[in-house]
Amino acid sequence: MAWSWRVLLALCMFAAGLHYWPIKPAQSAQASGSGTPWGADYFPNTPLVTQDGEKVRFFDDLIKDKVVAINFIFTGCSDSCPVETARLRQVQKILGDRVGKDIFLYSISIDPYNDTPATLKRYAEKFNIGPGWTLLTGEPADIEQLRRRLGLYIDGLENGRSKDHNLSLIIGNQATGRWMKASPFESPYILADRLGNSLHNWKQATAMANDYANAPEIRPPSSGEQIFRTRCSSCHTVGNREPGQPGIGPDLLGVTRQREASWLNRWLREPDQMLAEKDPLATLLYEQYNRLAMPNMRLGDEEVGALISYLEEETARQQAPLADRGKP
């Protein structure tokens, strides 16, 4: 029936457009002092504590008149949170010193029983989190209420006990009242653009011009390259690492030659398991990389194959000019 196709098509288009959707206030709030319906009367002034032990209030100190990105993490979470944190770290790198000046990043713990300020500080150090990005903890009930207000709350989720939680990142400009949820798979360049340009009403568009030059070049990527860019590049590079910028994970140039195929294959599938079994190489790498365990990315056979081909091809591509130079 023709109409059902149309409904289906409309649904697909709706789903495709869901990457960014505006968040509506739960109540038709009265315009507050700041002239938006998103003032202090919507956002709670939740008391929170930073990784440095400083006491702050959510509305007054963290978001009022600011462009912000907010997500919820817990440091004991081994798969989705490190991926999200690494991605936000990339956003921070792209935005450079604007973070802490006119853009502020916040990661709030949903496991405040375990995430003390000291624990958060260690986590920040692992990810090399710079100034302008604050990690926060507080009273469990307060944080739960804050999550509900921010629309990230999933019913039935207990603090820290469930591995899964809503990873969506909320980005917004409190003064203009523009808020949106960002998909966890959004590229850091797009996120940085939203935070650096769109949410600032394009006033500072030029500030980003240079960073775009550093965006991955546009050429049709292989499927392995595509997976690498979306799921691995927040922690890994393949050659071309900027000097003085240690990555979160090792550079992977040459890794397919350096490691045994069976080791590499298994590592991509279940690094968590290998670490748990105290595989010597896995343990060594873990110690070398700040004791940050590589997350299990739940890769299937095809993805693992595509990634290994990509790492092999990219290594060959980058090493070819060197080999040529040696020839007469």
Rule CB under 6 A: which residues touch ligand HEC? Answer: 82-83, 86, 231-232, 234-236, 248-250, 252, 255, 259, 264, 267-268, 271, 285-286, 289, 292-295, 297, 299, 307
What Cα–Cα distance (Å) separates residue 5 from each residue in 15, 16, 43, 180?
A: 15, 16, 41, 30
C-beta separation of 108 from 48 below 8 A: yes
Q: Nearer to ligand HEC by C-beta: 63 or 182?
A: 182
Dihedral sign for Cα 295, 297, 298, 300, please.
negative
In the complex with ligand HEC, the residue whose CB is nearer, 43 or 310, is 310
Cβ closer to ligand HEC: 97 or 287? 287
Question: Judged by CB, which is closer to ligand HEC: 86, or 150?
Answer: 86
In whole angstroms, how close is the CB of 160 to ligand HEC at the nearest point?
A: 19
CB of 250 to ligand HEC, least distance (A): 5
**Residue 45 or 230: which CB sits closer to ligand HEC?**
230
**How many CA within 13 A on the CB side of residue 94?**
26
Give me the least distance between CB of 263 and ligand HEC, in Å please: 8
Residues whose CB falls within 8 Å of the CB of residue 294, separated by 6 or more in sequence, listed in order: 82, 235, 249, 267, 271, 272
**Spatial separation of the C-alpha atoms in residues 218 and 234, rounded to whole Å:** 18
For the bound state, the minimum distance from the C-beta of residue 32 to ligand HEC, rounded and expressed in Å, comes to 38
CB of 194 to ligand HEC, least distance (A): 21
Residue 144: closest CA among 132, 160, 121, 131: 160
**Minimum Å distance from CB 79 to ligand HEC?**
9
Distance CA 55, CA 71 (A): 19
C-beta of 145 vs 237, nearer to ligand HEC: 237
